[in-house]
Amino acid sequence: MIRVLSPGLLTTVQDLGRPGFQRFGVSVGGALDAVALQLGNILVGNPPEAAGLEVTLQGPVLEAETDLLIAITGADLGARLAGKPVPLWKSLWWRKGEQLTVRGKPFGARAYLSVAGGVDVPSLLGSRSTYLTAGMGGWRGRPLRRGDRLPIGSSRGQVATEGRLLPPSCRPVYRQGAPIRVILGPHQDAFTTEALEAFFNTPYTVTPQMNRMGVKLDGVPLTHVKGADILSGAVTCGSIQVPADGQPILLLAERQTTGGYAQIATVSTVDLPQIAQALPGDRLRFQAVTLDEAQRCLRRQRQFLRLLRVHVGL
C-alpha cells in the first residue's frame, strides 16, 4: 500500500487509457504524457499498460507501507525521498515508512510515479485510468485525497532492478519553443487564408484555462470563412478546435468524444508530450507535416520503446 498524507493539486491513477468506447461517449483518457509513463514502467520492470500516478504541478506527500521499487519520470517537480532529492529517470527503492514529497518549483507540468507491480486499482472497461469528467475508473473515480491507501500489485516474476538509469540521450526533451508538428485539417477549408498563415507563422500562448480535457491558447484570432460551428463530428487527442472567438482549443486525453467547432489541425501523436508538459505562459509554434511523416515518427517512437524493453530484459 501507499498512504496519501497530502494529495497535492491533482494526483490521479493513470495508465494508457481505455480505447474502443468513444462511440458510447467514453473518452480514451489515460496519461497525458504517455511516453513518460511507459519509460517509468520500463525502469521498474512493469508491462507498458501498468498504472502509475500522474502528478500535476504541485505534488503529493506519500508514505510507503512496504518496500517498493519506484521511478519518477516526466517533469521535474522537485521530488524528495526521506528529505533527499530523487533523481528522475532512475529506479530506486522506497523503503517502508519513508515519505515521498513532490513539492518543488515545477519545470514542466506533469510527473509520473511508476511502482513495480503497478497501482492495483480495479480495472474498468479494460483500464485503470481515472476518468475525472465521468467520475469513473482509477481510485474511486476521483483525484487522490488525504487518507487514501493505494494497493500495489505483485511484482513477482518481474525484472525489478534498482539503479536502472535511462541515459540522457534516451529521455524526452521538453523544450519550450520547439515546433509542434501538426497535420492540417480536417476542416482547413473553414478558415481564411489569413488564419492559416497566422496559425503557422505566429506563436500561441498557453493560458491558465487548461486541464486534462484540453488547453485554451491565446494569440492572433483565427477567422472562419462562414462561422465556427459545424455538424458535430469526432475529435481525437490533439484536435485543435477554433470557436467563434478565434482562439484555439487544443484537446487532450480526457476530451469529449465529439465537437461542434471547426478543427484547423491535429497535433502529431509524438508531440503530445510537449503539450502535456506545457505551463501557462509557454508559447507554442506549429509546423505542418504530412500524415505519412507523422506516422513515420510515431513508428520510430514505438520501435524505440520496444527495443528499450528488450535491452533491459523485459
Half-sphere exposure of 30 (CA within 13 A, CB side): 22
In terms of Cα–Cα distance, which of 282, 250, 278 is closest to 264?
250
- Going by their DSSP bridges, the two strands 61-64 and 2-6 should be labelled as antiparallel
Residue with cell 505562459: 281
| Cis peptide, bond prior to residue 186, ω within 30 of zero | yes
Q: Do the beta carbons of residue 50 and residue 96 sit within 8 Å?
A: no
- pLDDT tens per residue, the chain (314 residues)? 999 999 999 999 999 999 999 999 999 999 999 999 999 999 999 999 999 999 999 889 999 999 999 999 999 999 999 999 999 999 999 999 999 999 877 788 999 999 999 999 999 999 999 999 999 999 999 999 999 999 999 876 555 688 899 989 889 988 777 899 999 999 999 999 999 999 999 999 999 999 999 999 999 999 999 999 988 989 999 999 999 999 999 999 999 999 999 999 999 999 999 999 999 999 999 999 999 999 999 999 999 999 998 887 76
Q: For residue 162, what pLDDT is reported?
A: 84
Give kind and range of the element (H or E) at residue 310: helix 291-311
We find that the CATH architecture of domain 180-300 is Beta Barrel (2.40)
Residue with cell 498524507: 5
Calculate the alpha carbon distances from 247 to 15, 185, 207, 250 in Å.
Answer: 31, 16, 11, 10
| The Cα angle at residue 277 between residues 271 and 283, in degrees rounded to 5 | 80
The set of cell numbers assigned to 15 is 495508465
pTM for the full predicted model: 0.94
Bridge partners of 63, per DSSP, are 3, 99
The set of cell numbers assigned to 71 is 521511478
How far from chain centre, in Å, is Cα 192? Answer: 32
Q: For residue 106, what pLDDT is reported?
A: 73
Calculate the alpha carbon distances from 298 to 27, 81, 170, 295, 304 in Å.
Answer: 21, 35, 15, 5, 10
Per-domain residue ranges of the chain: 2-172, 180-300
Residue with cell 465556427: 228
Q: Residue 19: what are its φ and ψ, rounded to 5°? A: -70, 155
Q: For residue 160, what pLDDT is reported?
A: 63
